[in-house]
Every structure is written in structure tokens, then in C-alpha cells.
A and B are shown apart, each in its own frame.
Chain A
Amino acid sequence: MVFVARSELDLSRYDAIVAGSGPAGGSVAEGLSRGNRKVLVIETGGSEYRAEAQENYSAVKGGGHYVGSHWSSHWIRMLGGTSNIWGGWCAPFSERNFDRWPISRSDLEPYYLSAAQALYRPPDFLTYRKSVLDQFEYRAISDEDPLRYSDPVKFATFPNDPNVHVLLEHSVGALTASQDGSRVEAFELYGVSEGNRELIELREEQALVLAGGAMGNAQILLASNDGTRASIGDEHGQVGRYLQEHPHMGVGKIICRANALIPSMDEGFGGIRHALFPSDSLYHEAGELDVCLVLSEASIDSTDQTERYLSEEFGPGARAYRVSVMAGRAENHGSRAEGFDPCGWPLLFAQCVVDSDSLEAVDFVMRSLGSSLLDSNVGRLRFDVERVYSDIGGGGHTIGTTRMGTDATSSVVDSDCRVHGYRNLFIAGSSVFATGSCVNPTLTIVALAQRLADYLAKGI
């Protein structure tokens, strides 16, 4: 990648312009470069973190379960975006997680493979599954060093890649639609340090890709409003409507026989976390809200009467695991924007509520796990039911603000990640997820971004 200054820039020479340099924007740029296309990445932040840019441009107001700072602290304004602080957990969505998407897991399969490679993961975790208990399946979550998309060395083909130019400290602002509404013909380029604005016209064949994070993508669309008609992409009020987060909670403890729940994994998997998932039939019974039960090693509390008993019952070598959950969804129930930030863009307002269906799904799956352990006499589960209802957190999984679908009245982008009706406007990132599964989103973000890059490289 080559950093460029505004003064030396001829914006018309690029095949695509990408707003945002996180995992989504970085992967689109990398893919386009591989297809020998020229890309300009425009990034609000600089090469270092600056609190001022963060405060000015990533402010979000919050209602419902998550305070505003929850969203802003998961939307980092600097080169590489939120990948500067992400945890590196990676897992693919399973087939059933695509039930309400216009694409399926098999459409993404090759890209999951290349995404795992791009994130420096051995690929075995993508397909490994093992039934370890009636109604439950073991899967591994890859937990390798998190790739920072600001890291010039690790970020694969980027160093000195002449096809990828990066313009820092500039933002993509309001978009302007053509007269017939079939394409975006211009966008506002905002210089962060000077506070200056320019209108940049797009050539007929140039593609514009929004990759500003799930909040950022909604913000750019909602800002694209000239006062005479609905914002671009929001003709049916869909932008920001389906914002989701994965409710996280620590919900219990398992004491079980050694080697009963966790298969011995060979080293080829790299660093992993252990997780149990409900079988398809349990998933349907739970209302088709997926629940991921992450097991982490814990110790047996020998001062606790019950634990003392269980450790003898399932010993020698009985194991203990803490169970924490990433589950279902928390969904937006409120308005999408309220007021303006310092450069005049809509300040986002998220009223994200963990719905009772999700809580009941966790409750149901946990009790089913308790029953399965009991019936198979492999171990026992302590279910801290209170915590399901009182200790809800989140994972920084900001999802669904411009969701994918076939129908413009109930979604924002089509199966090619193109904004319905606008032939040169595309979106990369978890904002296009039609539903959120229950696992960490970034692997799927990278896979979808690579797929989009392939599509654009062929089509431009």
C-alpha cells in the first residue's frame, strides 16, 4: 500500500474507491489488487490512534441494553479500524445460519478458506465438527494472534503494493445519486485536519465500496440526503433498522469426566477455544436462535460440597469448565439518527434491546445441556440462571445495519452486496449480515469482502 496526499491525487484513475481501512475495506482492497485493479482507500483516522478523531467521529447515542459508548468503543477511527483492538477469535457461520440469507454457506466456502489464510489460520477449524453429547456438537473457535490491518509487515500483499493507495485523515461523506437514481454520481470528500469539503464525481465505471464498519456504513447512507427525497439506500426505511449485537453472558460451570466433551485436537489446528453448539433439532426447538457455548478451563472448588462430590463422581481427573454464551441477537428497536456530529453527519442513535426470545433460547439450550450431561452421566452442569437475565454484555459484534436480501423493501443490499437500485454502490462488513449467527463476525466479514472483490474485479 502506498500512502498518498490529497494534493497528489487524481481520483479518476482508480477502478474502485473504498471508504474505511478495517478488515472489510482492507480485504476488498487486497482482493482488487490481486485482480490487478487500482484502488483508493479513504480512511478518517491516521496511522496512529487519536482520541480526538475517535470522539468527534465515532460518537453514538445508546438506548436499550447498550449505552452509547458500547458502540463507539467498537468502532475505531484509525488505519486498520477496529482490527487494532479485536481479539482474534474466528469461526465460520454454519449452514443453518444462512437460512434467512439470499446466499448459502457453500457460496462462501472458498472464501472462508482464503479468509482463514489471510488471517494466518490453519484451516482445519472451518469444517471440524464432532458430536460429543446427545444434542450437542463440538466445534473449535480459532484463537491465533489477531491480525491488525494497520500492521505493514503482516498485512500480506500490502507493503509497497502499487495498486492500493491510501488517503488518511479523510472521510467519505454524503453521496449524491444520479438524476435517474440508478447510480451514485458523486460523493463528498471531507478533510479531517482542515475541515474542508469537496465534491468528487465518480466516473461511469468506478465502483464505490462502503467499508466504514456497521455503524459507519449506516451513517454514510443516512448522511446521503439532499432534503428532497429519502437517503440513498434508505428508500424503504431499512438502513440501521436491524442493528444487532450478540448478547454475551457467563452462565455456568460444568464438571465432567476427563476427555468427555473436548476432543483431543492435533496441533495443526493452532490456537483454539472450545465451544459446544446445539444440534439442528435443538436449534429449531430453541426458536432458530443460535447459541454458542464457550468452554474455558476452570478449577474445581474443593470447598464446595457439590463440587467435591462431583469431582469424585467423575474422577479421577475430572475437569471443570466455565460456560459462557454468545447468543442470538439484540435488535434495534428505536430511531436510527438523532442530531449531528462535528462535520455535520447524522449522529447515530441505537436502541438495541435483547429480546425475550433470545434469553429464552439461552435458558432452553442451557437446561438441555444440563439434561444431556445428566442422561449420559458424563458430567453435571451448574446453570446460573440469574446471570442470563442480569449480566448481559456484548462482543463488539455490530451487525445488520444494511442487511442483505432479495427484496428492496426489507433489505438494503442484494446478494452481490450492491445497494438495491444503485449499480456502482457496494457495501462490505458485518452491516450486510442478514442474521448474525452466534459466533464472532470478522472471518465472515473478510470472506464476504473477498467475494465482493472478486465480483468487482471481474465486472469493472
Chain B
Amino acid sequence: MDRRSFIWGMGGFFVGASLSGGAAFAYRELRRARFRASLPPSPPPAFESRGLVDGWILSAADRERIGSAEYALQSELLEIVDGSDIPGRPFSREVVKGVDDCVEACEKETRCTRFTFAKATHPDETKRNVCWLKTGEGEADSPRAPDYISGWRR
């Protein structure tokens, strides 16, 4: 390796971040185990009352307005729910720019009866901004999954 390619390879300020991923994972497990063992069952109240929506620290008024039709994604064909990972059989998996693209892709594809989009904030980097187009009917309800947005044909 010559000096130039070496410096190129090293030049990032956050160079350490990529090197220690594995160790961090092991640590997270350890930390989780510790948490379970040592934390009282109820979360610290002071911040909890503020409410975390996808990590955003918001007021109750914010939450109400975000949930309102004014800011919700609109689609004539699809019913869209924030914070849901709807079951179904995926037939396509693509990384897209945002949820709008995922909605549009599903609207255009007749086979698509439902979709799931993983938000850019998803903790698993490999899933961020992934759009799954799916087939499937029936139960559209799913457990709350804040890292996803899903939709189904009305």
C-alpha cells in the first residue's frame, strides 16, 4: 500500500466508527442484559411525558397536528399507516428516496396489494429506505413498529 492510498483509506474523521461495529454489537447485548438486570421497571418519568415519536422529542400538540390529515401522506388507492409493518409476501425490494416513491411504485404495480417502507432512521442500516412491494390479503392490523410505514389497497 503506498502512502497515497493509505491516506485515502484513512482520511475520514469518523474512521473509527467503521472499525468498531462488531465490538459495539457485542456491547449492546451486554448493555441490554445489564439494563434488564439493573433498571427499575418504569422508565424515568421526566422525559417520558414529552413523548418520543420515532425519536422526535415533541409536545402533545405536535403529535396531534402531525397525525392530522394536513401532514399525512395522501393516496387515492392506498390506506397508509405510520408505525406499522404489515404482513404479506414481498415480491420486490428496492432502496428508494422516500416513502412517496414507495407509495407510487405500489400504486403503479397491479400485483401490489400492500407495501412496507423502512424509514431512514431504521436502526438496521441495511434496511434504511427499503421499499417492499407485497401481495397478500386479510388482516392488515399489525403490532406497532415505529421504524416502518405500511399501506394497503382500499
Contact = CB atoms under 8 A, between A and B. Distances in A.
B81 to A, nearest CB: 11
Contact of B99 (A64, A304, A396): A304
B19 A73 contact: yes
Contact of B54 (A382, A393, A394): A382
B92 interface: no
Nearest to A73: B10
Given A64-B23, A309-B66, A356-B34, A381 B56 contact: yes
B91 interface: no
B48 to A, nearest CB: 10
Given A303-B97, A304-B98, A305-B72, A390 B10 contact: no
A70 interface: yes
Interface string A351-374: 001101001000000010011011
Contacts of B66: 305-306, 309
Interface stretch (A82-90, A184-192, A421-429): A82-90
Given A371-B57, A382-B121, A309 B71 contact: yes
Interface residues of A, number: 57
Interface in A294-316: 301-306, 308-310, 313
Given A70-B19, A74-B16, A391-B21, 20 more contacts: A65-B23, A66-B19, A66-B20, A67-B20, A73-B10, A78-B3, A84-B7, A248-B14, A252-B55, A305-B71, A309-B65, A354-B27, A374-B50, A374-B59, A383-B55, A384-B55, A393-B15, A393-B18, A394-B16, A396-B16
Interface of B: 1-3, 6-7, 10-11, 13-25, 27-28, 31, 34, 47, 50, 52-59, 62, 65-66, 71-73, 82, 97-101, 119-121, 123
Interface of A: 48-49, 51, 64-67, 69-70, 73-74, 78, 84-85, 87, 89, 245, 248-250, 252, 301-306, 308-310, 313, 324, 353-354, 356, 359, 367, 370-371, 373-374, 380-387, 389-396
14 contacts: A66-B16, A67-B22, A73-B10, A78-B3, A85-B11, A245-B16, A301-B120, A306-B53, A306-B54, A309-B62, A324-B14, A373-B57, A386-B123, A390-B25
